[in-house]
Amino acid sequence: METTARHVECWLPDLQRFDPAHPLRALLSKGDRVANGAQGYLGGLCAYFHYDGELPAAALIREHLAGDAADACWLSADPAWIQPDMSGARLLACGHLPLSMEEAQALVEPLQAVFAEQGMALHVSTPQRWHLRVPADVSLPHFDAPEQALGEDLYDHLPQGPEGRQWRVLLNEVQVLLHQHPLNAQRRERDLPPINSLWFWGGGVLPSRIDTALRGVIGEDLLLLALAHRAGIPMQRRTVSTADAAQAGWLLDLQDQSADAIAGEWWPCLQTLSRRLPLLLSFASGERWLHRPWHRRRFWRGRA
């Protein structure tokens, strides 16, 4: 198979989201199926970028946004929406909730003392991304990433064991304070979901080195951009014009887009790219197809 440097790689949502009539299926039918790649959001990022240990998402994002991660230990504490149900509670949203900076600062204010008692400091890096600076002597348990817990029972994804107990207690205190916050009453009146919890994940220290075979990335995802920044490769914000101009060796990130958006806004761009360069279509569910410019002449092939 061709190396990354010889094609543009397009990172797409799960294949099952594209119905048989979707225009993208025409590219698949004319391309060549290649070996499966990584699955999921974090799996994909770990396949594109290489480093020692677990992914320290919090330190990477904090450094990208604020430039002060240094050698401290950081933990993401993103604003979240938990919905109680008959069997417990479910994580319905995390890090993508409508929230202004003023609202975020107001929500964080009563939480500061809770974390300060543990020697931690809570920072609002953006309205949707909050970070905890954690003392170096604190042993962090394993925290599941949001993608692993969305839609599932909250209690199946809380940190376990003696190390996890401190964080379960902290989370309970945080949830009580957020539940009582007047801003959440105002949000409910505006038909907005409450910010009634935090989601801890991605703990660790900024890695000294990150390697990648990519030559650059085009996208909007903060962690992807933070990894690219740390790896020292160019980054471009995702627009139709930057996607149209993508070069071999670059990654075009569309995995957060809906199938409808890809059929509408992004389909003309993908057609243009497929005529100009080899295009590796990598789905978040693992399937991959390599489409070369001359493959469009395979008129005898039907839809995949």
pLDDT at 299: 66
Closest CA to 223 of 28, 49, 12, 2: 49
Across 32-37, average pLDDT:
95
pLDDT confidence tier of residue 48, bands split at 50, 70 and 90: very high
pLDDT at 161: 85
Angstrom distance (rounded) from CA 264 to CA 163: 48
Q: What is the dihedral of CA 162, 166, 169, 171, to 10 degrees?
A: -120
pLDDT confidence tier of residue 5, bands split at 50, 70 and 90: low
pLDDT at 294: 81
Answer whether residue 108 shows pLDDT above 60: yes
Angstrom distance (rounded) from CA 23 to CA 69: 43
**Domain ranges within the chain, ordered by starting residue:** 4-51+211-297, 57-205
Answer whether residue 4 shows pLDDT above 70: no
pLDDT at 135: 93
pLDDT at 240: 94
Answer whether residue 1 shows pLDDT above 80: no
Q: What is the tens place of the pLDDT at every residue in 164-198? A: 898 999 999 999 999 999 999 999 999 999 999 99
pLDDT at 298: 65
Select the more confidently predicted residue: 96 or 100: 100
Angstrom distance (rounded) from CA 124 to CA 65: 10
Across 114-121, average pLDDT:
95
Report field, pTM of the whole predicted structure over 0.85? yes
Across 45-74, average pLDDT:
93
Answer whether residue 15 shows pLDDT above 80: yes
Taking 3-state DSSP, the helix, strand and coil percentages for the chain, each rounded to the nearest 5, stand at 40, 25, 35
Across 120-146, average pLDDT:
93
Angstrom distance (rounded) from CA 168 to CA 170: 5
Select the more confidently predicted residue: 138 or 82: 82
SS (H, E, C) 95-132: CCCCCCHHHHHHHHHHHHHHHHCCCCEEEEEECCEEEE
Answer whether residue 304 shows pLDDT above 70: no
Answer whether residue 2 shows pLDDT above 70: no
Q: What percent of the chain has pLDDT over 70?
A: 95
Q: Is 210 helix (H, G, I), strand (E, B) or coil?
A: coil
User: What stretches of the chain show up as alpha helix (H) in DSSP?
Assistant: 24-30, 41-48, 57-66, 101-108, 112-116, 146-149, 161-180, 182-189, 222-231, 240-244, 259-261, 267-276
Mean pLDDT of the chain: 92
